Amino acid sequence: MKMTHLIVVPRIVNRVGDWYQFPLGIAYVSASLRQAGFRLRTLNLNNEPGSVYDALRRAIAEPDVGTVLTGGLTGQYGAIKQILEEARKLKPDIVTIVGGGIVTSAPEHAMQALEVADYGVIGEGELTSCRLCAALEDGTDTGSVPGIIIRNGTTLKRTEGRAPPVDVDRIPFPDYQAFGLDALLQSAPNIIGMCERNTLPIITSRGCPFRCTFCFHPSGDRFRQRSLDSVFAEIDYLVREYGVRYLSIQDELFGHDLKRVREFCRRITPYGIKWLAQFRVSDVTPELVAMLKAANCATMGFGVESADNRVLRSMKKRITVEQTERALELVYQAGIGIQGVLIFGDVAETRETAQNTINWWKQHIHYELQLSAVIAYPGTEVYDYARAKGIIRDPVQYIKDGCPIVRLSDMPDEDYSWLFEQLASLPRLTHKTPEGARIAHIDYRSASVDVVGGCVSCHAENHWEKVRLFILETLACQKCGRKHIAPIPPGVVDRINAGVARLVAKYGKIAFWGINSYFYALAGKLGPYPEDAVLYVDKSDVRRAVRLSGHVIQPPEVIAAQGVRCVVVSVPQYFAGLKEPIEAEYPGVREVLSIADLLVDDAAPRPQSGVPQAP
């Protein structure tokens, strides 16, 4: 029976109009289904104001919509589950299909966590989704489709076999148009060195043969490169249709084949557009860097991870600190932007190794590397370690909790407290504020600011538009690529204080949920608040000894224990995924807000935060 298949992109923005990473995976599946002749409807919830329920109600109003397909990464669990649940409420007999890293990394546990998903697609979804949708339309046995997991009542069963790796030259280009790419192009990323409008992602290869312990490859371990003729046909399309100014190349191993990189550089140079790609420090040579510079490569991304060789060996990185130092110095001297992260908390981490990496970071602060903590995502070696050691006792609840940071190392409590205090306080020291920085405009409804200032390196005047508040934005100089940090406007502090006062007056007590380096800095400027009126909570137990604005971060269980009725998510990009789980787990909570909602006075119309407000 012919039916319409609804493909839905989960909402990951705090508000419509925020920048987000365009969902290439879902767009590839949509293009493959469309090419195969299936009848489709598409819905990108990041472009839809109002509630998820209302957006889905409009999308599945037609009687022939028989399936809803969605998916994403494990960290998007809450947003994915909400789509499935709301679709089932609207049409109880609709078939729900989910794919992406959340299912591929842990099929059984993900399906248990998602509860109402009928089918899970394991691995690359282009071919498997077509076979599954064909079986549903034809009424044939879906159990004969390889590479899926099926719910039958209370049981789950994987089908035999798995679809072969996708031929990356034979699948169609992503279905850019169907998911409202035009709207996304109106905002600039202002992250990882990208500050141009009309920034677009592209994939020129899939898979990665390296086996770093903290990394999971949704596309598999087999490394496959697209032909450059195919790549440049897509670039021509993106330039013609969308006026691309900046290409964000999403490959895990773009720089591993020097011959191919050389040819790519020769062909991309005439376009005059900037681009970013990922490289291994062991592949960097003076020849490579000179070639990239001449071809307008604006930023080189690296998996730096640690500045202690013992930790690098434990991570199975197959690089050394010495290689990192040589590579970053070459790139820095060439004037190419650097993007990299130092990840703390590996199994081999000690106070000594962490201090070594922090000291190295401070000595090389001009490289502007970010600081983060290792997350044991399902499918990774560190996840398997945490399961084997009983650190993660309930894998289903772990997914529902959003994969909080866990203790992988044997460091004592006081060392963990010290480490996470460093990770919270140091990142905003990575970059300087622009010379003569001033806030040209604050848009409280979109929680963004326009920043004007000079580059601290080349002194060029910059005007950064719609810089999002509450996250660690890096403002890249539009001339030389040097990264800066936006100041926290006093007006934002005043409005947050006023918003907290309103909520405390209404509910008696509130809890801020989550912490990042921006909120750590912001919290030091807030208050003072009445005694015990404001709590700070986080799912990750390793953060709970960190002191924030004079208070110790507590476990979320304190919400129920103290009768907290209002929760404010302090990291807005996690709001869409946290709201529904918080409401489900803590029924006494009457209102879940994003911290961005506090910027708008209750007397004015409530800004559209993308998710309906709790009563």
Q: What is the CATH number of the domain that holds 324?
A: 3.20.20.70
- Mean pLDDT over 33-47 rounds to 96
pLDDT for the residue 608 = 37
* pLDDT at residue 110, rounded to an integer: 97
User: Residue 472: is its pLDDT beyond 80?
Assistant: no
Stretch 307-332: mean pLDDT:
98
pTM of the model: 0.88
4 three-state secondary structure: strand
| Cα 215 from Cα 374, distance rounded (Å) | 10
Q: Is residue 144 domain-resident?
A: yes
Report if residue 444 sits inside a domain: yes
pLDDT interval class at 196 (50, 70, 90): low
The larger pLDDT score, comparing residue 270 to residue 547, is at 270
Q: What is the CATH number of the domain that holds 494?
A: 3.40.50.720
Domain carrying residue 9: 4-158
Q: Are residues 456 and 499 in the same domain?
A: no
Residue 166 inside a domain? The answer is no
User: Strand, helix or coil at 346?
Assistant: coil
Residue 191's pLDDT band (cuts 50, 70, 90): low
303 and 409 share one domain: yes
In terms of DSSP bridges, do strands 205-206 and 224-225 run parallel, antiparallel, or are they unpaired? Answer: antiparallel
338 in a domain, yes or no?
A: yes
Mean pLDDT of 165-173: 93
In a domain, 342, yes or no: yes
For residues 190 and 533, the model is more confident at: 533
Are residues 29 and 103 located together in one domain of the fold?
Answer: yes
The answer to the question of residue 346 being in a domain is: yes
Q: How far are the Cα atoms of 178, 193, 208, 278, 329 from residue 254, in angstroms, in the given order?
A: 27, 18, 10, 6, 20
Q: Which two tokens stand for residue 347?
A: 């199994």
Domain end: 427, 457, 484, which one?
484
What CATH number does residue 114 fall under? 3.40.50.280
Q: Which amino acid is at 206?
A: R
Is the Cα torsion angle 489, 494, 499, 503 positive or negative in sign? positive
Q: Taking a C-beta distance cutoff of 8 angstroms, is the pair 538, 423 a contact?
A: no
pLDDT of residue 407: 94
Give 190's pLDDT tier (boundaries 50, 70, 90): low
59 shares a domain with 11:
yes
pLDDT at res. 364: 94
**Of the residues 382, 415, 448, the one at which a domain ends:** 415
In-domain check, residue 34: yes
Q: What is the mean pLDDT of residues 462-487?
A: 80
pLDDT higher than 90, residue 263: yes
Quick one: pLDDT at residue 583?
92
Distance CA 608, CA 597 (A): 9
Q: Do 439 and 544 share a domain, yes or no?
A: no
Residues 257, 225 contacting (CB under 8 angstroms): yes
pLDDT score, position 96: 98
Q: What is the DSSP letter of 16?
A: T
Please report where in the chains the tokens 């550089």 appear, as a residue.
265
**Same domain (yes/no): 154, 68:** yes
Q: If you average pLDDT over residues 69-76, what whole number do you get? A: 94
Residue 509: what pLDDT? 96
Same domain, 72 and 96: yes
Report angle CA 78, 580, 81 to the nearest 5 degrees.
35
| Polymer length of the chain | 615
Average pLDDT over the chain, rounded to whole? 90
Helix (H, G, I), strand (E, B) or coil at 279: strand
Joined together, the tokens standing for residue 611 give: 């998710």
The pLDDT of 319-336, averaged and rounded, is 96
> Do 514 and 536 lie in a common domain?
yes
Instruction: Tell whether 612 is covered by a domain.
Output: no
330 shares its domain with 440: no
Q: Does 192 lie in the same domain as 57? A: no
Q: Are residues 476 and 547 in the same domain?
A: no
Residues 354 and 441 in one domain: no
Domain count within the chain:
4
pLDDT at 117 over 90: yes
β 148-152/155-158 pair status? antiparallel
Can you give the pLDDT at residue 195?
A: 57
